[in-house]
Structure formats: structure tokens, C-alpha cells
Structure 1
Amino acid sequence: MVAVKRVAVFDDDDDLLIIFRFFFEEKGWEVHTYKTSDDVIDKVRMSSPDVILMDNWIPTTGGLFATQMLKNDEELKNIPVIYISANNDIKGIAERAGADTYVAKPFDFEHLQNVVDSFF
């Protein structure tokens, strides 16, 4: 039996959350979506994702701080975090956050899939 992959998506855009849910569920993934980065540690522990997509501009702590918190947690630091943002300095912000990589918005879903697949 093949284990179901899980993704946690942190983004405050309802439309994007629907799109991410559809995209990953079509591939057989279990999807957990969150509109805030509040309690990010508890949310990630509860959903136990294989990969995390993190928006930069997410209430209330923001993606940078939320990612830093995850990467400073011994139990969660090895879960890949893909930083997703329309910010023009996404590379620099993703590096400061400690994200494993980044995808700039707007993005192509084939590119997103390739980035996610690179972790498996």
C-alpha cells in the first residue's frame, strides 16, 4: 500500500486555496489549508505534512516568521517549505526565512509540480 502524501498550504487567498486543494487532490494528496500562520507549529504537527507551501503575506505573523519558527523546531525542521509569493525579492525573503526553495506568483502549475516532486 502506498502512503498518501500530505501538503499543508498557508495562504490567505481563498481562490488560491481552492486551486491548491484541487491541484493536489487530483494527484491523490491529502490537503490541509490554512488562512493564517497563527499557531503554525500546532497546525503542522496536527496535519503532519510531507511538504509545506507558505505564502509571504499571510496574517498575522507572516510567512517569514512562520517559516523561521518551523525551521527552528527540531521535530519539524526537515519538512520542506516552499515559499510562495508575488514579492519582487522572493529569493531573498525565502532565504531569510530559511525556506528550502521558492516559487514566484504567478506561477505555472507544471513548475510547481516539478518543485514539489524534487523533494521526493
Structure 2
Amino acid sequence: MSKLIQVIEDDEAIRDVIEYILQESEFDVTVAANAKEFKINLLNSLPDLILMDVKLPDGDGIQLCRQLKQSLETRNIPVIIMSAHAPAEQSSKDAFADDFISKPFDLDDLLRRIEAQLA
């Protein structure tokens, strides 16, 4: 059974590339363009990993990560935060994210980091 990855990314082009690469790597993928969609998807099924952008049109990925890590239901789900903004790396650590990927990113590195979190 393949692992489910939830991607939260507001940039449609980036979201589509990530979704395609993950599906080609035989992951099940659910995507959301904003925090509201993500929360709805989360109600339907808990993912094995969450890949999340920091800047969302209706929320802050750092705050969202912090909430996930404080919830009994979701705290053990690995969260990888993505951002083009260097200060977000420290913020992601403060929010207990499991990893941080700087944009732009290498797709092979993205897959290695996802696989390492799922191992």
C-alpha cells in the first residue's frame, strides 16, 4: 500500500510539478491550494506525510505546522516545510517541523527527504 502525502502549496505550477513527481514515484497524493482545503482534506484522511508551503493565501504554514504538532491526532505525522524565505527555516524548527526545504529545490533532493521521513 502506497503512502499518502498531503501537499499544501498555493502556486499552481509548483503544486502540479510536486503532485506529478510524487505520483510518478508511486505515492498517493492529495493537494490543497490553501489552509482551508488542507483542513477539509485532513478530515477525510490522515496523510503519512505533509509537505507544506509557508506562505498561504489564507494562513501561515508555520502556525499550521505548530497546530498539527500540538494535536494528539496529527503530531506524529512528519511535516516538511518549503519556503523561498531563509528566515522561515528557523521558524520551521520553532514550529517542530521535521524538515525544511528551501525553494527553489531539486526534485531528487525533495524525493530523498520525503523517503527519509517515511522510513
TM-score scaled by structure 1? 0.91
**Greater per-residue helix proportion:** 2
Amino acid at match of 1:79: I
Deviation per residue, 1:66-112 (Å, 9 max, x gap): 11111111011100000000012132111122211101000001111
Q: Could you say which residue in structure 1 is the equivalent of 2:33?
A: 35
Report the Cα distance in structure 2 between the residues aligned to 1:48 and 1:10, rounded to whole angstroms. Answer: 14
SS class of match (1:82) = strand
Give aligned pairs, total. Answer: 118
Segment of structure 1 superposing worse, 44-53 or 34-43: 34-43
Question: What RMSD over aligned residues (CA atoms) do the two structures have, in Å?
Answer: 1.4
1:60 and 2:71 matched: no
SS class of match (1:54) = strand
SS class of match (1:68) = helix
Q: Could you say which residue in structure 2 is the equivalent of 1:23?
A: 21
Q: Could you say which residue in structure 2 is the equivalent of 1:46?
A: 44
Q: Percent identity?
A: 28
SS class of match (2:73) = coil
User: Runs of 4 or more off by more than 4 Å in structure 1?
Assistant: 39-42
